Amino acid sequence: MTTEQTRELLRQLPSVEEVLNTPTMQALQPLLPHSIFADCARASIDEQRHAILEGELRTPDPQVIANNACTRVLSHLRPSLRRAINASGVIVHTNLGRSPLADEAVNAVVEVAKGYSTLEYSTTTLSRGSRHDHVEQLICSLTGAEAAIAVNNNAAAVMMVLNEFAAGHEAIVSRGELVEIGGSFRIPDIMALSNAAMVEVGTTNKTHLADYQAAITDDTAMLLKVHPSNYRLIGFTESVPLNDLRILADSVNEARSQSSSDPLPPFVYEDQGSGSLLRLDCFGAYAEPTVAESIKGGVDLVSFSGDKLLGGPQAGIIAGRADLIDRLKKNPLARALRLDKMTLAALETTLRLYLNPTQALTQIPTLRMLSEDVAIVEARAQALAHQLKAIEGLGCAIEVVAEIARSGGGALPMCDIPTFAVRLGFPEGEAQACERFLVSESSVPVIGRIKQDAVLLDARTLRDEELDEVAAALRAYATKRQTLSA
Ligand SMILES: *Cc1c(COP(=O)(O)O)cnc(C)c1O
């Protein structure tokens, strides 16, 4: 490869004008501003220039460059955030937006989003109201808490609680609970960010009440308990139950109230992570403890997510003692982390569905998918398999197989949820190509999972209405496959 050859190839690159004037680009011109076309043409030429400098020896083809520019232009027309079909079998899938909302919640969002609302307006006093009021009573009724506040998400809730009550003081936490939740949410980092001094006690596998006891100083502001979420210690392990932390905090408070100085009242705060408003008895011993159980167990405050097991919108809910919640409402972070009207509408409606637990189980999609009878899931898988078997040229063996679905969202990590999936068994190496097509090239991305040389489409996270779309995506794949091999 001589530099002269390279220079010659570079000279043959079309100009931006030439690319813009190709019929393919011309045809799209009315759709978007000229500047976007120019940018896309330039990016496409740059890409080819880069390829030549890297050793590409073919003469640049203006049509190929124009087609590439068109693809870039078209990607501007397609929304980046769009609906996807979850055939992964992971119910609370963080990358896929966690919990789908109940129809009623969606309707409530549309209603308040389209027009004005009573977001901060009291229809009783005809004056300014509080946005907190829409959900506080409901949370209290559902959990037995005295008071509650909802903020942007549970990470925000944890930060706010630590900032308000432990900034400049000590918070004691077990080494077995210093977890990373994902998305770089690590308990020690949040502690540092909130200016709380973290006091670690115990060991990775075992922490005893005496460890907490020994770590208490006059500066202890909090005993923090963190749900281990997506990991479990099994075997030789021990952690301190909430009740015991309550008794310890009470005895410290008792001793401090007799001292002459003005000591801090240490209190018990639990980051429950997923949180659950209903005990999911279908999971037996694996069922997550509910928020009400934490309140009953003696926490002063508990926080949890709105879009994990709860099945609502992204939010973080803090519930517990009224005097503590009052202080949180006055913390400047409450303003920075507050919920907007759409989220509040979705949250209020979702919480309202819980007032009737049977209704919650069928109308909140996350709960429905978690608890759906496996026979119904199997029937859905069979219906999908039936549709897929009718597609010609798919090039794979189609069967319905028993599989294991996961809750996701850091909940029920040890729980194998029985499910059925449609298994598309491909010749070696082709499953990945099919998976890539379903995600990148289908009009609605379909996210399944790969197991050995097969694509699995899990029927537990699919809705009946989505089966036709999955079949359409695979029909498109079969067509592409045949075109390529022709
Ligand atoms: C998921 C989780 C969080 C973060 O909650 P988000 O609502 O995602 O912000 C915090 N703590 C625990 C234990 C969790 O499981």
Mapping DSSP onto H, E and C, the string for 317-355 reads EEEECHHHHHHHHHCHHHHHCCCCHHHHHHHHHHHHHCC
Query: Residue 334 Cα, ligand 1 centroid: separation in angstroms?
Result: 18
Both tokens of 3, joined, read 């530099």
| Probe target for ligand 1 pocket from 152, 153, 154, with the most ligand atoms within 8 Å of CB | 154
Distance CA 30, CA 86 (A): 35
Please report the DSSP string for 26-49 in residue order.
Answer: HHHGGGS-HHHHHHHHHHHHHHHH
* Residue list, ligand 1 pocket, CB within 6 Å: 153-155, 158, 181, 185, 226-227, 229, 271, 273-274, 305, 316, 410
Q: Tell me which residue of 407, 406, 397 sits closest to 434, measured CA to CA.
A: 397
Model pTM score: 0.91
Alpha carbon 353 to its chain centroid, in Å, reads 21
Q: What is the model's pLDDT at position 263?
A: 57
Distance CA 42, CA 16 (A): 6
Q: What is the model's pLDDT at position 420?
A: 98
Return the percent helix, strand and coil in the chain, to nearest 5.
50, 20, 35
CB-based contact 442:470 (threshold 8 Å): no
CB-based contact 455:470 (threshold 8 Å): no
| pLDDT tens for the chain, residues 1 to 486 | 568 889 999 999 999 999 999 998 998 888 889 999 999 999 999 999 999 999 888 888 989 999 999 989 988 888 899 999 999 999 999 999 999 999 999 999 999 999 999 999 999 999 999 999 999 999 999 999 999 999 999 999 999 999 999 999 999 999 999 888 777 788 889 999 999 999 999 988 899 999 999 999 999 999 999 988 777 777 788 888 999 999 999 998 888 877 756 556 779 999 999 989 998 877 777 788 899 999 999 999 999 999 999 999 999 999 999 999 999 999 999 999 999 999 999 999 999 999 999 999 999 999 999 999 999 999 999 999 999 999 999 999 999 999 999 998 888 877 889 999 999 999 998 999 999 999 999 989 999 999 999 999 999 999 999 999 999 999 999 999 988 887
Closest approach atom of ligand 1 to CA 409 = 1
Closest approach atom of ligand 1 to CA 229 = 15
Query: Residue 113 Cα, ligand 1 centroid: separation in angstroms?
Result: 27
Q: What is the DSSP letter of 136?
A: H
